[in-house]
A = this chain, B = another copy of it.
Amino acid sequence: MAAPVEFYFDFSSPYGYLASTRIDEMVAKHGRKVEWRPFMLGAVFKLAGTAPLTNVPLKGDYSVRDFKRCARMHGVPFVMPPKFPVGTIVAARAYYWLVARAPEKARPFARAGLSAYFVHGRDISEREVVGEIAAAQGIDRDELLAGAEAAETKERVKAVTDEAINGRGVFGSPFAFVDGEPFWGSDRLDMVDRWLATGGW
């Protein structure tokens, strides 16, 4: 059985959200699975001396226009969140706590978190908001929020982020690997599709 496609994203990344709405179905066409790996994009910004797209002079207005245009093109609901970007460490920790404790709930939680932020404009940096999103998915809110603060959960997010950046060369969101081949950006999904179909070129 072929290894899963690895899908790195930050919960505060518009292009990561856009990719999340398409990647599972697209990869499934090729009989493959996707492993979702939220990570902390802020660590990249620090390391590379870069910044969120919307904070880069000249790029900001274009980026927001392009987020919306890409979403409309694919028929995906999208609003530019009123607070952007936001810290996503609580969401990421909650995700990996679920991966360890109730793996079948992790991806639905991640989808709900991305929707809360990019469809409903909710501030997912807030613990209360993350707790509400989890509760709506039938997850015990208090248990989740406590688990997110556990040392092993914190360590897991740190390790995933460190391995992504220093081990795999991830420098943006979304970032996917197909059998080791790296693809940066939601606009590379069509190329991922072609790579899966052909085995590469």
Contact = CB atoms under 8 A, between A and B. Distances in A.
A170 to B, nearest CB: 8
Nearest to A190: B190
Interface string A71-94: 011000000000000000000000
A182 B48 contact: no
A38 to B, nearest CB: 18
B62 A182 contact: yes
Nearest to A194: B73
B57 A48 contact: yes
A66 B73 CA distance: 24
A191 interface: yes
A176 interface: no
So how many copies of this chain end up in the complex?
Answer: 2
Contacts of A165: 58
Contacts of A194: 73
Nearest to A48: B57
A61 interface: yes
Given A44-B58, A185-B187, 12 more contacts: A47-B58, A48-B56, A48-B57, A50-B56, A59-B171, A61-B169, A62-B171, A62-B182, A65-B182, A69-B201, A187-B187, A187-B188
